[in-house]
Structure 1
Amino acid sequence: MELAGHPDGGLTDVPRHRLASETARLIGERRPSRILVFDPGCVTGHRDHQLATSAAQFAAGQAGVAVLG
């Protein structure tokens, strides 16, 4: 897991495209076969979890990497 310096509760201040770009960079560096994200409903309801999941799904889709929730 990598937090990329974002404080807990602070992802609402980060544009989605930036989160997706950061995730895409990590995908390029680490070449995972799949990415684990929160379930679509984000069981906790935490906005950071929802935003991180959305960005990861987008970046993974662009890279052709499977997403598991």
Structure 2
Amino acid sequence: MTAMPRYVPSSTRLQGARWQRSSYSNGMNNCVETATLDSGPLTGLCAVRDSKNTAGPALLISPGPWESFLNSIR
């Protein structure tokens, strides 16, 4: 079994990802965007990227740790 990747070098490789930005964002592209991947070999993972560099890398995180992170900052 191969390990899942921890990141992709360019978020443009995540075809079909629907990126979302926080409702607290002020529109200045100074936050992160997230997407839940729902197709291909990365299905179910959460992707996180910098909104200032939408073609840049994206971190890939399993749903459980991502939920734990969100709960800890709420």
Per the normalisation by structure 1, the TM-score is 0.28
- The structure with the larger Rg is 2
* Higher relative contact order (Cα pairs below 8 Å, separated by 6+ residues): 1
Looking at secondary structure, tell me which structure has more helix per residue.
1
Per the normalisation by structure 2, the TM-score is 0.27
Looking at secondary structure, tell me which structure has more strand per residue.
2
